[in-house]
Amino acid sequence: MHNWTTQIPEAARDYLAGRRLDEVECILPDIAGVARGKAMPAWKFDKQSHFYLPTSIFLQTITGDWADAPGGEDEYKEPDMTLVPDLSTATAAPWTADVTLQVIHDALNQNGQPHPTAPRNVLKRVVELYAKEGWKPVVAPEMEFYFVARNVDPNQPITAPIGRTGRKAAAKQAYSMSAVDEYGKVIDDIYDFAEAMGLEIDGILQEGGAGQVEINLAHGDPVALADQIFYFKRMIREAALRHDCFATFMAKPIEGEPGSAMHIHHSVVDMRTGRNIFSSEDGSETPAFMHFIAGMQNHLPGAVALLAPYVNSYRRYVPDFAAPINLEWGRDNRTTGLRVPISGPEARRVENRLAGMDCNPYLGIAASLACGYLGLKERKDPRPECRTNAYIGEDELPLTLRSAIDLFEEDEAMVEVLGREFTALYTAVKRDEYKEFQSVISPWEREHLLLNV
């Protein structure tokens, strides 16, 4: 038994019981939420309290290119940052051939301070701002994604997978148990992997798209929940590959089908009393509840660049596909971007329905929490509750990545909360990705413009 394994979660210790640990994957999430790092033999991890990777990892775009550094004059040297293991995140990688653990690492500057552009540190920064006010934010994310047929040619459309009946997965079967059973073997592996990893699934259900599934997670600490989503995404992809299909977290992978969201439920607890600050002692809604909603309405336009981080993300923001295109709020009204679910006073919460499942979970949760935090600080009132169909109102969100980036940079309060160094880096990466997309000629252009204009 390795000395440090006494500090890891019980599920990881159970996974190692009676087995020899072969390898440790030392990872951290990059700007896209992709796992970066290195794998090393367990004996090497025993002897190494930290290791180094270049800060330029956070400048890599989703295509693998590198954005220009917005930072200081020495950034071209690609200085190293120190990666220190957070042993509380140790979990199994049960799909590997060898006995392997994954450990998320914290990124520190050479002076030992949290690196300001590391996504996990950005979320921690926001949570600490709440803590300074005596508040503890609580979140509960919902993960929507698709199982799709293997797609090895990007020029071909993505299609639904073949289920156990030999037919393609059917659309418009929300909440159908038989639809979930079509790919039951993948779901079984997800449950088995989750158990080995110590990840709690609150429920799995069929969503409205062909091959679209939703996994609900229990409410809890924002950083811990972001860690779980980070792990879940990797694990679900591995489970799908075992059964000759892909799992995709694209916001809009299939034309004519609903997009995939990452709805985020928010509440805030008073650290001194343990009470939900959204409910008064008599169970009624508090001013803080309204201030939180107002913060969402006032600052979400500036946060969309983090909630919808790719050009594909904006294909989800269309009416009649169960996707919000507004900043209205309403009680038990799924047409509003901000929904207040039915609950008792202790569970009163706000559901942000704007985030796509393609967002980096650390940055998506950080941006959403930042909006609520600013609302609590600014103490403004929201617009009147929407009691009708909010889909028929005016669009209130940026509808392109380019305009979203502009709004992000213009929201000075948001920039201050998330950090100026992070904002400069993030916008540099996103502008570079948008520029790369603009250089691509799409099949639509070739089909309709080649011979007609």
Could you report the per-residue pLDDT of 74-116, keeping only the tens digit for each?
Answer: 555 678 999 999 999 999 999 999 999 999 999 999 899 999 9
Residues 104 and 222 in one domain: no
Residues 12 and 97 in one domain: yes
Model confidence at 441, pLDDT cuts 50, 70, 90, reads very high
In a domain, 453, yes or no: no
Burial class (CB in 10 A: 0-12, 13-18, 19+), 266: buried
Task: State the average pLDDT over residues 282-304.
Answer: 97
| 255/419 Cα distance (integer angstroms) | 37
Report the pLDDT value the prediction gives residue 370, as an integer from 0 to 100.
98
CB 186 within 8 A of CB 103: no
Compute the chain's Rg from CA coordinates. 22
CATH number at residue 86: 3.10.20.70
**Rounded mean pLDDT of 29-33?**
97
The residues pairing with 27 across neighbouring beta strands, listed in sequence order, are 37, 104
pLDDT band at 69 (very low <50, low <70, confident <90, very high): confident
143 and 41, same structural domain?
Answer: no
Q: Is the pLDDT of residue 309 over 50?
A: yes
Whether residue 229 is found in the same domain as residue 337: yes
Residue 179 predicted with pLDDT over 70: no
Whole-number Å distance between alpha carbons of 406 and 397 = 12
Whether 68 and 154 share a structural domain: no
Query: What pTM did the predictor assign?
Result: 0.94
Q: How far apart are CA 93 and CA 116, in angstroms?
A: 28
Q: Is residue 244 part of a domain?
A: yes
- Kindly state the percentage of the chain with pLDDT values over 70: 92
The answer to whether residue 118 sits within a structural domain is no
Q: Phi, psi (5° rounding) for residue 306?
A: -95, -25
User: Do residues 253 and 282 both lie within one domain?
Assistant: yes
Q: Between the CA atoms of 397, 230, 139 and 370, what dihedral angle is there, to the nearest 10 degrees?
A: -50
Residue with the two structure tokens 């607890």:
269
Per the prediction, the chain carries an average pLDDT of 91
- Which domain CATH number covers 267? 3.30.590.10
State which of 113, 143, 175 marks the end of a domain: 113
Quick check: is 86 in a domain?
Answer: yes
Tokens 């996994």 belong to: 215
Dist. CA 208–CA 252, nearest whole Å = 13
Query: How confident is residue 72, by pLDDT bands cut at 50, 70 and 90?
Result: low
- In this prediction, residue 175 carries a pLDDT of 45
**Res. 68 pLDDT band, cuts 50 70 90:** confident
| Shared domain check, 109 and 191 | no
Percent with pLDDT over 90 in the chain: 74
Quick one: 104 exposed, middle or buried, by C-beta within 10 A (0-12, 13-18, 19+)? buried
Phi, psi of 272, deg, nearest 5? -80, -45
What angle do helix axes 119-132 and 222-241 make, rounded to 10 degrees? Answer: 150
What per-residue confidence (pLDDT) applies to 49?
Answer: 80
Give the pLDDT score at 242. Answer: 93
Is 26 buried (19+), middle (13-18) or exposed (0-12) by CB count in 10 A? Answer: buried
Distance CA(183)–CA(204), nearest Å, equals 12
Q: Are 37 and 146 contained in the same domain?
A: no
Owning domain of residue 369: 126-447
SS3 category, 65: coil
Residue 221 lies in a domain: yes
Q: For residue 340, is it within any domain?
A: yes
Buried b (16+ CB within 10 A) or exposed e, 307-324: bbbbbbbbbbbebebbbb
Q: Indicate the helix (H) or strand (E) that contains 87.
A: none
| Interatomic CA distance for residues 24 and 46, integer angstroms | 10
Higher pLDDT, 72 or 87: 87
Listed residue (306, 265, 220) closest to 33, CA to CA: 306
Q: Which of 88, 113, 138 is the last residue of a domain?
A: 113
Instruction: Look at residue 314 and give its three-state secondary structure.
Output: helix
**C-beta atoms surrounding 152 within 10 Å:** 6
Please tell me whether residues 146 and 194 are part of one structural domain: yes
Given a cut of 80, is residue 403 above it in pLDDT? yes
What does residue 181 show for φ and ψ, rounded to 5 degrees? -65, -20
Band (207; pLDDT cuts 50, 70, 90): low
Q: What is the pLDDT of residues 208-241, one digit of tens each?
A: 677 888 999 999 999 999 999 999 999 999 999 9
pLDDT at residue 319 above 60? yes
**Rounded Cα distance, 224 and 9, in Å:** 13
Domain's final residue, options 113, 139, 161: 113
Q: Which residue pairs, CB below 8 angstroms and at least 24 apart, start in 275-278?
A: 276/345, 276/346, 276/347, 276/348, 277/135, 278/348, 278/349, 278/350
Query: Across the strands, what pairs with 141?
Result: 264
- Start-to-end C-alpha separation, the chain: 71
pLDDT digits (tens, 9 = 90+) for 257-287: 889 999 999 999 999 999 999 999 999 999 9
Q: 347-370: buried (b, 16+ CB within 10 Å) or exposed (e) per residue? A: bbbbbbbbbbbbbbbbbbbbbbbb
**CA separation for the pair 114, 424 (Å, rounded):** 17
Integer Cα distance of 147 and 162 in angstroms: 10
Residue 59 lies in a domain: yes
What domain count does the chain have? Answer: 2
Q: Characterize the bridge pairing of strands 80-85 and 100-108.
A: antiparallel
239 and 94 in a common domain: no
Q: What dihedral angle (degrees, nearest 10) is formed by the CA atoms of 145, 260, 229, 104? A: 90
Q: Are residues 106 and 18 in the same domain?
A: yes
Q: Are residues 109 and 132 located together in one domain of the fold?
A: no
Count of CB atoms situated within 10 Å of the CB of 109: 15
pLDDT digits (tens, 9 = 90+) for 168-177: 766 555 545 5
Q: Give residue 332's pLDDT.
A: 92
Q: Enter the tokens of residue 377.
A: 């600080």
What does the pLDDT read at residue 347? 93
Mind listing the pLDDT tens digit for each residue in 114-173?
A: 999 999 999 999 999 999 999 999 999 999 999 999 999 888 889 888 777 766 766 555
- Domain assignment of residue 109, yes or no: yes
